[in-house]
Structure 1
């Protein structure tokens, strides 16, 4: 019996000794934009063993959105890095004793649920063979949209708006939080922003919103009939395929 215990202990010790720390840098990058980091609350990363779904590492990306010129303006040669030491990422450190097939799951942006996307990829990790530098970059498409006016379930007296333009307003940013402005790197002139209006569940019309200041879009329409209203507001960029949506319900009453 003692001999069996001794052999088992040796085998366990062998496995423990042979396990090697393996590091992998994981980053979340907004499509046609920069990296998702601390300023936006980060992207949530989960690394799993694909076979048994065991979580091997978990955390959020932290750091800066990166160098705008390097990411967006400089021509990229093969092997050239688009990150620096400050660029946001999550460094996973995993102990494995044999090649392991992993799944990387990402939810981003973590703190903006209406814009969240789940992205994943799979790859082999080899013991002691680190994946650093730019690492594994997962791309997140879309826009983050927050409708500011009207407010959710706002009750609006008809006599305060009848015969006057009713204002719709939304804040829109890239998935990394990067700013949208007229003539900027992310040019508002190239982004279509419209609101789809319904009253009591039936389509009424579309309203166009235009940039009035950095990230802030505004439009207006006449609301002369009481009812339960729904505004579905979207942004669309044809060149990149980025889209985003937010919705709000409000009530106009007599």
Structure 2
């Protein structure tokens, strides 16, 4: 009987397939900007087997946004890397026993849901053949926009704002968290920022938003009647096609 159980155990162990550990560096890079790392909460990475959608590895990118001069100012030459040891990324470790076609999915920025985008690519992974160094870089387009004033569903008494400019305020950053400044690497003068103001579903006015300090844009409008207001604020960069939107609803009452 012992011999039978031993033989069965050996047969079962031989049938079990142990994969070969294979490592893949995955990075998320903001379009026209730097990498998404720890300072923004990271990007979420999922590596799946394309055939059966099984998740082989997942985690968040960590590290710095990278070297600004290297990424934004140095001409790109074949073979030259735009990353270093501190640049944000996630090393996915998968166990495979044969070449496997995978989907690599990036969800970013992880902690800014209204700006979140999903970008993916597909490739073959070969057992034991690591893809490290610069690794796989997926580009995340857009801007992160947070409307600061007015607040979501804020109730505002008309007599407190009537006949004087009502302030609209928003914080806007690149998808890596990189700053937008007047004359900076990410120049506020090149970005169109406007608010579309509606009252009870009808257009009131397009609001021009101007840069006032790092990442901060402001505009105003005189509100003279009560109602349910909605502000849709967008940023648009013609050269790169980067766009971003945030929306807020508020109530003005008598």
Q: Could you tell me which residue of structure 2 aligns to residue 11 of structure 1? A: 14
Q: How does 1:1-254 map to 2 (within 5 A)?
A: 2=4, 5=8, 8-9=11-12, 11-12=14-15, 15-16=17-18, 19-254=19-254
Question: How far apart, CA to CA, are the structure 1 residues paired with 2:14 and 2:102?
Answer: 25
- Say how many residue pairs are matched: 251
Deviation at 1:10, TM superposition (A): 5.8
Could you say what secondary structure the match of 1:25 adopts? strand
Could you say what secondary structure the match of 1:21 adopts? strand
Question: How far apart, CA to CA, are the structure 2 residues paired with 1:139 and 1:146?
Answer: 21
Unaligned 5+ segments in structure 1 are none
Question: How far apart, CA to CA, are the structure 2 residues paired with 1:24 and 1:79?
Answer: 18
Question: How far apart, CA to CA, are the structure 2 residues paired with 1:75 and 1:228?
Answer: 51
Deviation at 1:11, TM superposition (A): 3.1
Question: How far apart, CA to CA, are the structure 2 residues paired with 1:94 and 1:20?
Answer: 8
Question: Over residues 158-212 of structure 1, what are the superposed CA-to-partner deviations in whole Å (9 max), with x where a residue is unaligned?
Answer: 1111110110000000000000000000000000000000000111110000000
Question: How far apart, CA to CA, are the structure 2 residues paired with 1:49 and 1:101?
Answer: 6
Tell me how large the CA RMSD over aligned residues is. Answer: 1.4
Question: How far apart, CA to CA, are the structure 2 residues paired with 1:117 and 1:124?
Answer: 24
Deviation at 1:130, TM superposition (A): 0.5
Could you say what secondary structure the match of 1:72 adopts? helix
Q: CA 1:10 to 1:252, structure 2 compared with 1: closer, same or farther past 3 Å? A: closer
Could you say what secondary structure the match of 2:148 adopts? strand
Question: How far apart, CA to CA, are the structure 2 residues paired with 1:74 and 1:46?
Answer: 31
TM-score (norm 1): 0.96
Unaligned 5+ segments in structure 2 are none
